[in-house]
Amino acid sequence: MYELSLLCPEDRVEALSDALDALDALSVSVEDADAQTEAEQALFGEPGMPPPKDGWQRSRIVALFPTEAAAREARQLLQVQDFFEGCHVLGVAPVQDQDWVRLTQSQFTPVDITPDFWIVPTWHELPPQARTSIRLDPGLAFGTGTHPTTRMCLRWIARRGAGGAALGKVLDYGCGSGILAIGAAKFGAVDIDAVDIDPAAVESTRLNAQANNVQLRAGLPDQVAGPYQTVLANILATPLKVLAPLLCSYVAQGGHLVLAGILERQADELKEAYAPWLPLQVADSEDGWILMTAAR
């Protein structure tokens, strides 16, 4: 396999990408040509920030071709096109053979939630200090334990469960991979509903629960049957505000609401959105994200 690398200004990226597709490139990727320099540009803002730019000032386009001849032919055809003006060929080079499965797996290592509670991919040995663990591989649904929002939710579950306080009946709303529901089961919950609007997430939750030998009910949101002693929702601030009356209605007397997917600067707007039903407070923070909880 060979890669053709090109350098182009922002206004030529779309035309070049389309042309490479038409030339039967196996894949086309675009990256900031100034990445890891002082000129690097961030494109994707957090929720609530101004809309991102459409592209970088200078982009590096990399197209993969099955043979060197195909890559060189594509280079020659592109160089004579009007839309190639201002663009440059960086080169044609072979792609080194790699064990892509092993390379991908190397990016996912065991994650410690507390000193004795770990999230561990199936291809890793359990750390010796892991008294409690969840076996979880990256998949189609959000939730591998690496994101701060997931870690904060799991820490809350672990501390409450390990401290002897029963989690009671649990709802994981927007369950993704099912990691929070599985975590609740690992810390003593036996009556658990995990729901998501994405059927792929529901199936992922069922498979991950089976792999971890825990029992839960996974399905679409219409299966929710409250009230619950623990309601978990790790989504994002905007849907959490819309869902405020619904999520609060699921919380039983004496129960807890645990919300994540919230940036530090969004704390006040979440408190205001939930104020008619429950008093939210910041319970944890990590890397600019916060965990908010309330008790009925």
List, as residue ranges, the binding site for S-adenosyl-L-methionine: 150, 174, 196, 234
Distance CA 73, CA 89 (A): 13
Instruction: Kindly state the DSSP code that residue 34 receives in the 8-state scheme.
Output: T
Tokens at residue 133, please?
């663990």
* Exposure string for 51-82, b = 16+ CB within 10 A, e = fewer: eeeebbebbbbbbbbeeeebbeebbeebeeee
Tokens at residue 63, please?
């197209």
Instruction: Kindly state the DSSP code that residue 163 receives in the 8-state scheme.
Output: T
Contact call for residues 134 and 182 (beta carbons, < 8 A): yes
Instruction: Kindly state the DSSP code that residue 222 receives in the 8-state scheme.
Output: G
Tokens at residue 224, please?
């929710």
Which residue positions form the known binding site? 150, 174, 196, 234
> Which run of H or of E encompasses 240?
helix 237-242
Distance CA 266, CA 262 (A): 6
> Is residue 246 helix, strand or coil?
helix
